Amino acid sequence: MPPVVRFAPSPTGFLHIGNVHTALFNWLFARHEGGEFRLRIENTDTSREVAEATEQIQESLRWLGLEWDGPVTFQLDRMDRCREEAHRLVAQGKAYEDEGAIRIRMPDDGTTAWDDLVRGPIEYPNEKLEDLVAIRSDGRPTYNFASPVEDWLDGITHIIRGDDHISNTPKQIRILEALGAPPPEYAHVSHILGPDGATLSKRHGSVSVEDFRAAGYIPEALTNYLALLGWSYDDRTEIMTVSELVERFTLERVGASPAVFDYQKLEHFNGVHLRALPPGEYAERLVGYLREQAYEWDEELVRRAAPLVQEKISTLAQFPGFAGFLFGEVDPDPALLDREVLERAAAALEGVEPFDAEGIEQALRALADELGTSPRRAFQPIRVAVTGSKVSPGLFESLELLGKDRALSRLASAGAVAA
RNA sequence: GGCGCAUUCGUCUAGGGGCCUAGGACGCCGCCCUCUCACGGCGGUAGCACGGGUUCGAAUCCCGUAUGCGCCUCCA
């Protein structure tokens, strides 16, 4: 029987990257096993913010490529059913009323145990289990009751969730037992921590999927990096495509210790996946990103500039700083300029026809030769004059994209302010 | 406090008794490539939390300690 798993976020805001981690493990497991991945929203309230968060969560999952199966279900819609089940348990003597609330009886001795798919056998002494409230006095089911009831209704076979739920598991096992539901398998994965060992939060940097998206990361890198937090394929394979992850992911290779989120390594992964994109696809990602970020730059020029930066930047967000000189004026530091070089470069470029990288390179190398300096030294003032920075895409290609007119005018105005 | 879970380079991890004088990756350092930056190549730095066992032999098994985290709510 193919497994059925679920991701059950509460709609309190944007999708946190830590939740994405568990969602990803559920999704990879379901896809690898040919099972189903369900999305359940644990809403307890109908406020407007919640409705927006619900939409946001789905948008984030779609962007990441974590498509779910079947309709999205809402905890709110199951409240009546939860109450019915609770009353049934009361009628069966497995639960009782307590000042308007309903409590489920828990065993007093012995232990409740399960074989955790990630952690192995876990035992919990029953004397620590209190009769737990299933229905509050106001009639609302509690999380610890509603969650297992819904898992049962949805036919969830494997519960893959954060390790903060380990202590809830014995209670839920007993509830399922009382309901007469078949017990699911449990797999508790570790939480993701910030560099200081505390739960990852805003002050560490990006935390929500939207944050990472705005920071110029792409789904391929995020899923690849996240998959490697607590899971590994072997002792050397790290860079993987989504389909490779699906093909290789197994719960057996999920580790139990917590992992610290490393932004630098994510950025490295992002660079690798960015470089691996076909040039046309890369250009479209760049255009899409700039559009989302509300840049109103000539998209045709962005596409032409894309190949110049693909090998050089590791997040899409670096594009404006790196290639912005193509889209707006520059303000070079006079101290880094050299009047003679700039004047002679302008003269040399004047005659280049057609004005393409190849011709430009020939002309400028010849110039360096005439000046008796290394290309390194000769090109730097030109780069600064044209791009406004000591760091830029390839100089010849940049000049070509800029066009002869703009190139010459930048050389001229820089020459005028040169020290 | 009780119960539970965790503990290999700074970080992510491989490792499940001899293959480990512990492998890979990010970061960092050096060199090479080079029009800058980046990419790429080469080399280097750095780790089995501690203490007892078990065993011919332990990073690997057991016990204890320490540390971290989680839960102990009519929160989710």
Any idea where the domains of chain A sit in the sequence?
4-189, 278-327, 334-417
Minimum CA–C1' distance nucleotide for A132: B74
Report CA(A417)–C1'(B34) in Å, whole number: 29
Q: Which residue is nearest to nucleotide B74 (CA to C1')?
A: A136
Minimum CA–C1' distance nucleotide for A357: B35
Residues 6+ apart with CB under 8 A from A72: A39, A40, A41, A54, A58
Query: Nearest CA to A131 among A167, A96, A100, A104?
Result: A104
Span A192-203, average pLDDT: 83
Superfamily name and number for A4-189 = HUPs (3.40.50.620)
Minimum CA–C1' distance nucleotide for A43: B76
Q: What is the pLDDT of residues A19-55, one digit of tens each?
A: 999 999 999 999 999 999 999 998 876 666 678 889 9
CA–CA distance, A185 with A178 (Å, rounded to integer)? 17
Q: What is the pLDDT of residues A118-164, one digit of tens each?
A: 999 898 889 889 999 999 999 999 999 999 999 999 999 999 999 99
Say if CB A380 and CB A387 are below 8 A apart: no
Report CA(A36)–C1'(B59) in Å, whole number: 38
Report CA(A342)–C1'(B35) in Å, whole number: 15
Q: What is the pLDDT of residues A320-354, one digit of tens each?
A: 999 999 999 999 999 999 999 999 999 999 999 99
Indicate the CATH number of A278-327 among 3.40.720, 1.10.8, 1.20.120, 3.30.360. Answer: 1.10.8
The strands making up A101-104's β-sheet, listed across from edge to edge, are A95-98, A101-104, A132-135
Residue by residue, DSSP assigns A79-126 as: HHHHHHHHHHHHHTTSEEEETTEEEE---SSSEEEEEETTTEEEEEEG
Around Cβ A321, how many Cβ atoms within 10 Å?
Answer: 11
CA–CA distance, A113 with A173 (Å, rounded to integer)? 9
A128 carries an active-site annotation: no
Q: β-strands A192-193, A132-135: how paired?
A: unpaired
- Return the CATH class of domain A334-417: mainly alpha
Evaluated on CA atoms A235, A20, A116, A256, the torsion sign reads positive
- Catalytic residue of the set A128, A202, A265, A390: A202
Report CA(A230)–C1'(B51) in Å, whole number: 29
CA–CA distance, A184 with A173 (Å, rounded to integer)? 9
- Which nucleotides of chain B does any protein CB come within 7 A of? 2-8, 10-16, 23-27, 34-40, 68-76
**ipTM value for the complex:** 0.96
Predicted TM-score of the model (pTM): 0.96
